[in-house]
Amino acid sequence: MVFSNLVFLFIFLPLVLVTYYLVRNELRNYLLLGFSLVFYAWGEPKYVVVMIFSIILNYIFGLLVHTFRNHKSLNKIILGAAILTNLLVLGYYKYINFLINNINELLSTNIHMDPVVLPIGISFFTFQAMSYVIDVYRQPGEVQKNPFDLALYVALFPQLIAGPIVRYNEIAAQIKKRFVDIEKFSEGIRIFILGLSKKVLIANQVGFVADAIFNKPTSEMSVLLSWIGIIAYSLQIYFDFSGYSDMAIGLGKMFGFDFSKNFNYPYISKSIGEFWRRWHISLSTWFRDYVYIPLGGSRVSKFKSYRNLFIVWGLTGLWHGASWTFIAWGLYYGIIIALERAWLGRFLEKLWTPLRHAYVILVFLLGWVFFRADNFAYSFDYIKTMFGANQQPLYDKLSIYYLYDYGAVILLAMIICTPVIPFIVKKVNKLVSNSFLQFSNQLIVSGILLFLLIVNIVHMVNSTFNPFIYFRF
């Protein structure tokens, strides 16, 4: 089940909310857990077993780590076993086909295995479960002795499928006790509708353009068409993923949970290091806290510091998918961030700010080519076409058509990528001083949100199923 689905909006969500606020407080966690399992099982019920296995596994490991806390050597072995077991489960479902294919190509063998289907959201809930055991080992929080509360942390439906990756210590207290008032519930609705609008009204529209262009051979593209395609995809992946994160955060607030922000206008960054502090923040900080810093971070020699950097970015690429293009995409960013640390960062600081923005835009546009394309040959041909190296025409009729039909949506999306609208809203709120004007302003905002919800529903009724991009990760 997805958030941008009429069944979710008109049946599942109202049913959860009504029953949640009708039952006694002590039953609410069990109710949410039950609905979360139904939510996950809606599309592929057999893989609920995988998630339940992960929950039980990490519940036991958490208890073992807590029990043998004073036996440091044994505790390290238990923690290592927990991490290894989690990675083996993730590796089997996500990477076994990739591994076998590469072994066959490298050794000219003919090992056959039926394709293993990837359970939706396995990367997200595995990382959450691992962070719980690691945090119990590090002693920043208490072990969870109630298996149902731990299960709710892992399976909570707002963030289950595509994040944000929530740390246990961030919501441990909220699992035990949380409070919702009208203001918080209303804020959750507002954030949810804005996230839904990002997905349905922007991501799906520009995604149509991106998919149509990337499905064409590069030999049939003009230079302008290739740029339209990658710009459309850059907007699609941002609004698709940040839209989902916003909906998850909004839904969380409706039930009393406060999830951390996962995106902070990454496309306005002035360096690639800053870009990754603003993009998919929960994943970036996860790798920082659980991989980079334990390896020594930047507190070691320069060689080891850069080694740690490349390990993290290689793993980041691999986390996104079982493909050499994803690994290359991760290492691509590792190289650029290493260069920024070495000397490029100091050079960028001296540049005119618009040039720094232009540098970041060019870097992430080229990076998204590798992320979107299925293979290296297509990626390099696509980039060559972007810069006119394939002797393709500067523009063609198709590129003019997309500019004419989708130019307004693309331009609007580019504006919304920046904090321009929040800046204007903030200025307007400052001008609104008396209570009557504030009330009128709230009515206007409510009217806009209601209008957006209606437009979203109309689009959802008339459109085909369009899942979120990060579901496959």
What residues are labeled active site?
Answer: 320
Closest by Cα among 205, 134, 247 to 411: 205
Peptide bond before 45: cis, by omega within 30 degrees of 0? no
d(C-alpha 471, C-alpha 473), whole Å: 6
In the chain the first and final C-alpha atoms are separated, in Å, by 16
* CA atoms of 31 and 20, how far apart (whole Å): 7
Q: How is residue 270 annotated by DSSP?
A: S
Contacts of 272 (CB under 8 A, 6+ apart): 333, 336, 337, 340, 360, 363, 364
**Cβ distance 129 to 65 under 8 Å?**
no
User: Are the C-beta atoms of 163 and 40 separated by less than 8 Å?
Assistant: no
Contact 316, 272 (CB under 8 A): no
Mind giving me the DSSP string for 24-44?
-HHHHHHHHHHHHHHHHHTT-
What distances in angstroms separate CA 81 from CA 85, 122, 402, 426, 455, one per listed residue? 6, 19, 53, 50, 50
Q: What is the DSSP string of 103-149?
A: HHHHHT-----PPPPPPTTHHHHHHHHHHHHHHHHH-SS-----HHH
